[in-house]
């Protein structure tokens, strides 16, 4: 399959045009929109969401990844292969976390260009055709690169801030829950949140943190909207407090 990860949103013409380009170049190959509303222009937030939300996709899935505020500039276009999946997108740090967490990572330049290339919509004109080629079983249209070249070195392994707000009013962080103990508390927006395994274990009206279905720390409010009640925004810092003995 081809799986899309973009900041285009679910409304408007952009995602539809990308899907149409994929249908044109790879008819019969299913396209699934995994994450159509990544935080707009926020490459760093998307870089931490990408490995978490692509990890359950089948081997050889082609992930079309577009968060590209530098579209039309001199930034490159790249293909990465990590964990048995292909990733196509801009060379702007988007694949940094993915590559650092996969010892088998490979990287390739995208040297091919279409006859018509919009200066503002490489998702449709460049990345979608390359993703379609990979989905058809063709090799990357460029030369092999050192994967380290695609890594933004000063980003941490885990990001202690909110990277996504969902429509339930839950706040996803860039922290992997596997690195925390259940006795540890998370502080965000001046509120301390204790761990709960499920929403059913949480007290109504009390914010808490839990491990979401993709392995990330998420802030929630039982039977409520944590984003609205706590005034949370993407980019808010979170602090991990030491657990009790």
Residue-wise pLDDT for 124-162, tens only, equals: 999 999 999 999 999 999 999 999 999 999 999 999 999
For the chain, list the domains and their CATH numbers: 2-150 (3.40.50.10790), 159-241 (2.40.30.90)
Strand-pair category, 31-35 with 77-82: unpaired
d(CA 75, CA 160): 27
Tokens, residue 164? 């996504």
Look up the pTM and report it.
Answer: 0.95
Residue-wise pLDDT for 96-128, tens only, equals: 999 999 999 999 999 999 999 999 999 999 999
pLDDT at 243 over 70: no
Residue-wise pLDDT for 152-189, tens only, equals: 999 999 999 999 999 999 999 999 999 999 999 999 99
d(CA 57, CA 3): 8
């Amino acid at each position: 399959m081809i799986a899309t990860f973009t900041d285009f949103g679910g409304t408007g013409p952009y995602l539809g045009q990308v899907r149409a380009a994929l249908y044109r170049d790879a008819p019969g190959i299913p396209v699934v929109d995994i994450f159509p509303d990544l935080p707009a222009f926020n490459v760093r937030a998307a870089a931490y969401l990408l490995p978490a939300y692509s990890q359950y996709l089948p081997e050889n899935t082609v992930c079309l990844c577009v968060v590209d505020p530098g579209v039309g500039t001199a930034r490159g276009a790249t293909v990465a292969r990590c964990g048995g999946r292909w990733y196509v997108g801009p060379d702007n740090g988007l694949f940094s976390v993915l590559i650092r967490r996969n010892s088998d990572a490979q990287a390739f330049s995208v040297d091919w260009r279409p006859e018509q290339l919009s200066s503002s919509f490489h998702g449709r004109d460049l990345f979608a055709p390359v993703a379609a080629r990979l989905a058809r079983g063709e090799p990357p249209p460029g030369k092999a690169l050192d994967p380290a070249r695609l890594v933004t070195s000063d980003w941490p392994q885990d990001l202690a801030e909110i990277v996504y707000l969902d429509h339930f009013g839950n706040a996803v962080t860039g922290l992997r829950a596997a690195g925390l103990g259940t006795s540890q508390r998370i502080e965000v927006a001046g509120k301390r949140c204790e761990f709960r395994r499920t929403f059913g274990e949480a007290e109504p009206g009390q914010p808490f943190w839990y491990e979401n279905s993709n392995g990330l720390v998420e802030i929630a409010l039982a039977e409520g909207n944590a984003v609205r009640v706590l005034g949370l925004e993407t980019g808010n810092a979170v602090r991990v407090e030491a657990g009790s003995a």
